[in-house]
A and B are shown apart, each in its own frame.
Chain A
Amino acid sequence: MSPRASRILVVGVGNRDCGDDGIGPLVADRLAGRVPAGVQVRALGGDMLALIEMWSGRDTVIVIDAARAMMQAGRIHRLEPILEPLPRELALGSTHALGVADAVELARALDRLPRRLVVYAVEGAVFEVGARPSAEAAAAVEAAAGLIAAEVDALVMGQKEQAHA
């Protein structure tokens, strides 16, 4: 196991019971067996403050979350909130309590951000309780998983990754 690998965390966040809000956990599922040994892949629902504890001690954290449809359902955005706050227009909130954008800004205020943080935001269309994911979002799951697997591979290999959406 690479020492680099054990310092990488991938978290798919969202509620699987609320249509496209479950994109994050679905991408995490899809990454099983596709990242190097030692890289931790997890799913997280509920409020996102738990992220701050989860990424404690990690160098690199990749978060996958659903976003409000701005341009096109299924569109994938790659964001680096270390540099600037997550765009509010994507509404990276939560179906309940505090969302990813809140967790990032709270961590920034408390000086608890990881060294490198990447957020993959997938635009969704359907967020109702009990709804199935939309066709567009479901189609984006594999694409997002592929991008993230490539980025993680590059990180573990110590290469300067530039995986763009």
Chain B
Amino acid sequence: MATKRIRVDYLARVEGEGALDLHIRDGEVDKVRLRIFEPPRFFEALLRGRAFTEAPDITARICGICPVAYQMSSVHAMEDALGVVVDGELRALRRLLYCGEWLESHALHVVMLHAPDFLGYPDAIQMAREHGDAVRRGLAVKKAGNELLRLVGGREIHPINVRVGGFYRVPSRTELAPVAEELKQAREHAAEILRWVAGFPFPELERDYEFVALRHPAEYPFNEGRIVSNRGLDIAVADYPNEFEERHVAHSTALHSVLKRRGSYHVGPLARYNLNFDRLPPDVQALAREAGLDPACRNPFRSIVVRAVELLYACEEALRIIGDYRPPPMPAVPVEPRAGVGHGCTEAPRGSLYHCYRLDADGTILEARIVPPTSQNQGTIEDDLRAIATAGLDLPDDALRDRCEQGIRNYDPCISCSTHFLKLRVHRQ
């Protein structure tokens, strides 16, 4: 077998590295093996023996981009185990905090990381020289998200204000007023970003995914709902272990999460959108249609447009929550430890994030399980890459690598943050 390594290019300080092996035999893609870093395994062990109250702050450290998702899934799982219900304004504040994280994460990914792929730039810096207005808009939207995290989460990175039962401190209406003004501007910027990305050239690819996401009776999902799919799955979060399992695959240290009965599935913006289009406000639906999106979209490259739709939604939802907000009398509801098992699933920017904890009577964590979106999408990413590589077999290796990176970035996995993160090995036989 003729083997050649095309390029090795990664920063020593990037968390792990991505590696993709493409085996091509007789002009066809024979094997696709993707390896990407998975941080939570380390944290599952770290959590054992710690108090239930520590989980939100410990798990927030797993990711600098989506700490809120880890905090939210952990507090929901703990509250499930402890029989606590958080509702009213505290629940609304959690949605507001999640809006901030979606704004930060999606603005970063859409404008700084994914858009250059579509426009043929090596990175956002090169792109900024010719698309400065778009980059400025992305930064402004991201800043509005930072402000929400600072106000509701206590600080912009690794927020510290979240606790099981609610928050340590809640903001006043006066504190939220300036960020509302910023969000109104951000909403205009998000609409412009949506129009901008809608005009990108999208590679032809449609796949028959099983989309999986939360679905709530009335809301576009952040942190509550049933886990549903377009193939009939409709379960409570507590039934997650009955339907999903993580499997070791020989070529990777990471576990692949699969539906026990059907295999690979797809979580993230495209799944949320396909399963919850009717939960978007009518004006957001209208702008999505103007951007060329139907209520059903199966081209993973159009996920950049869906993320822009979610940016718009997060601005609107944050403004709605701030407009209705009345500070609750207490920043948190009382929580007493007890033995039990709890499950939580919330919608991280890059897809469903499941947590499960088993606690003893004094609230010590006996067992922790965290299934991040990236491991849930891993099988689907490999399937996409098989299709992308098959369509691009005649491309030069550099162009093939770029297209594969673009395809992986459709899922915004943790590793995709670094430019040219992928070690690509093409084995042609």
- A interface residue numbers (CB < 8 A to B): 15, 17, 21, 44-47, 49-50, 52-53, 66, 68, 91, 93-99, 102, 105-106, 109-110, 127, 129-130
Residue from the list B123, B125, B142, B158 in contact with A45, Cβ < 8 A:
B158
Query: Are A106 and B124 touching (Cβ within 8 A)?
Result: yes
Query: Are B11 and A91 touching (Cβ within 8 A)?
Result: yes
Query: Are B157 and A46 touching (Cβ within 8 A)?
Result: yes
Is B366 in the interface zone, CB < 8 Å from A?
Answer: no
Q: Report the bound CA distance from A129 to B158 in whole Å.
A: 15
Q: Using an 8 Å CB-CB cutoff, how does the interface string of B23-54 with A read, 1 for contact, 0 for none?
A: 00000000000000001001000100000000
- Which of A17, A66, A98 gathers most chain B CB within 10 Å? A98
Query: Are B112 and A98 touching (Cβ within 8 A)?
Result: yes
User: Could you say which residues of chain B place their CB within 8 Å of the CB of A102?
Assistant: 123-125
Query: Are B112 and A49 touching (Cβ within 8 A)?
Result: yes
A95/B128 contact (C-beta < 8 A), A47-B108, A53-B143, A129-B42 known: no
User: Could you say which residues of chain B place their CB within 8 Å of the CB of A95?
Assistant: 13-15, 64
Is B136 in the interface zone, CB < 8 Å from A?
Answer: yes
User: Could you say which residues of chain B place their CB within 8 Å of the CB of A129?
Assistant: 15, 39, 42
7 residue pairs bridging A and B, Cβ less than 8 Å apart: A93-B11, A93-B418, A95-B64, A96-B65, A109-B125, A127-B12, A129-B39
Chain B residue, CB-CB nearest to A97 = B417
Q: Report the bound CA distance from A66 to B15 in whole Å.
A: 15
Q: Report the bound CA distance from A94 to B157 in whole Å.
A: 14
Query: Are A127 and B13 touching (Cβ within 8 A)?
Result: yes
Q: Chain B: how many interface residues by the 8 Å CB criterion?
A: 32
Q: Using an 8 Å CB-CB cutoff, how does the interface string of B9-20 with A read, 1 for contact, 0 for none?
A: 001111100000
Is B79 in the interface zone, CB < 8 Å from A?
Answer: no
Is B284 in the interface zone, CB < 8 Å from A?
Answer: no
A130/B64 contact (C-beta < 8 A), A45-B158, A52-B139, A93-B418 known: no
Chain B proximity of A61: nearest CB distance (Å): 17
User: Could you say which residues of chain B place their CB within 8 Å of the CB of A66?
Assistant: 13
Chain B proximity of A51: nearest CB distance (Å): 11
Q: Report the bound CA distance from A46 to B39 in whole Å.
A: 15
Chain B residue, CB-CB nearest to A130 = B42
Query: Are A17 and B12 touching (Cβ within 8 A)?
Result: no
Is B198 in the interface zone, CB < 8 Å from A?
Answer: no
Is B279 in the interface zone, CB < 8 Å from A?
Answer: no
Query: Are B108 and A110 touching (Cβ within 8 A)?
Result: no
Query: Are A49 and B125 touching (Cβ within 8 A)?
Result: no
Q: Report the bound CA distance from A50 to B418 in whole Å.
A: 17
Q: Report the bound CA distance from A7 to B142 in whole Å.
A: 24
Is B203 in the interface zone, CB < 8 Å from A?
Answer: no
Residue from the list B13, B65, B136 in contact with A110, Cβ < 8 A:
B136
Chain A residue, CB-CB nearest to B147 = A53
Chain A proximity of B11: nearest CB distance (Å): 4
Is B352 in the interface zone, CB < 8 Å from A?
Answer: no
Q: Report the bound CA distance from A109 to B143 in whole Å.
A: 18
User: Could you say which residues of chain B place their CB within 8 Å of the CB of A130?
Assistant: 42, 46
User: Could you say which residues of chain A place their CB within 8 Å of the CB of B312?
Assistant: none
Chain A residue, CB-CB nearest to B140 = A53
Query: Are B124 and A47 touching (Cβ within 8 A)?
Result: no
Query: Are B132 and A46 touching (Cβ within 8 A)?
Result: no
Q: Report the bound CA distance from A127 to B13 in whole Å.
A: 7
Q: Report the bound CA distance from A53 to B147 in whole Å.
A: 11
Query: Are B39 and A97 touching (Cβ within 8 A)?
Result: no
Q: Using an 8 Å CB-CB cutoff, how does the interface string of B113-146 with A read, 1 for contact, 0 for none?
A: 0000000000111001100100110010011001
Chain A proximity of B253: nearest CB distance (Å): 15
Is B61 in the interface zone, CB < 8 Å from A?
Answer: yes
Residue from the list A50, A91, A109 in contact with B156, Cβ < 8 A:
A50
User: Could you say which residues of chain A place their CB within 8 Å of the CB of B14?
Assistant: 93-95
A98/B417 contact (C-beta < 8 A), A49-B112, A53-B143, A106-B135 known: yes
Query: Are B129 and A96 touching (Cβ within 8 A)?
Result: no
Is B335 in the interface zone, CB < 8 Å from A?
Answer: no
Query: Are B13 and A49 touching (Cβ within 8 A)?
Result: no
Query: Are A46 and B125 touching (Cβ within 8 A)?
Result: no
User: Could you say which residues of chain B place their CB within 8 Å of the CB of A109?
Assistant: 125, 128-129, 132, 135
Q: Report the bound CA distance from A106 to B131 in whole Å.
A: 12
Is B63 in the interface zone, CB < 8 Å from A?
Answer: yes
Query: Are B139 and A53 touching (Cβ within 8 A)?
Result: yes
Query: Are B108 and A97 touching (Cβ within 8 A)?
Result: yes
Closest 10 CB pairs of A and B: A46-B64, A109-B128, A46-B157, A97-B417, A93-B11, A45-B157, A96-B64, A105-B125, A68-B12, A109-B129
User: Could you say which residues of chain A place their CB within 8 Å of the CB of B129?
Assistant: 109
User: Could you say which residues of chain A place their CB within 8 Å of the CB of B139?
Assistant: 49, 52-53
User: Could you say which residues of chain B place their CB within 8 Å of the CB of A96?
Assistant: 15, 63-65, 414, 417
Chain B residue, CB-CB nearest to A53 = B143
Chain B residue, CB-CB nearest to A14 = B13
Chain A proximity of B13: nearest CB distance (Å): 5
Chain B proximity of A24: nearest CB distance (Å): 12
Q: Report the bound CA distance from A39 to B101 in whole Å.
A: 29
Query: Are A97 and B15 touching (Cβ within 8 A)?
Result: no
